[in-house]
Amino acid sequence: MWLIELWYWLLQLFGWPKPVKEFSMQKAILTWKDPSGPMTGVEISMRVSGAPNFTALSTVAKGVQKLEVPDLVDGTYEFRAVVVNGSKRSKGVTISGKVESVPGDVSDFAVAFE
């Protein structure tokens, strides 16, 4: 009985448990063209817009020119591509993109009249 009273008291104090906000995970698909000069790969890194540091994601071999970044939640992200040739590195190119979850449209939408 005391457990029920404790539960009732906690509910009055803190309120009913709130549901977890639903969120959708998105995927970014990064593509680029390799430079014509010598290179061994492209280092791809990312950060949430405004964050102080980039986080390395992958080094992509010459000729691949594509990387998929899964599991991104709503927000603005910055991606950086740095060309690498041995110990030499380019200054890099940075782009940004925004993930916004929106519901998908219906399919096979039709009306019939009789």
Helix residue ranges, H only, the chain:
2-14
pTM over 0.85: no
User: In the 8-state DSSP scheme, what is residue 38?
Assistant: -
Rounded average pLDDT over 22-51: 87
Rounded average pLDDT over 26-50: 91
Segment 12-34, tens digit of pLDDT: 665 655 554 555 678 889 999 99
CATH of segment(s) 24-99 = 2.60.40.10
Segment 60-80, tens digit of pLDDT: 999 999 999 998 888 899 999
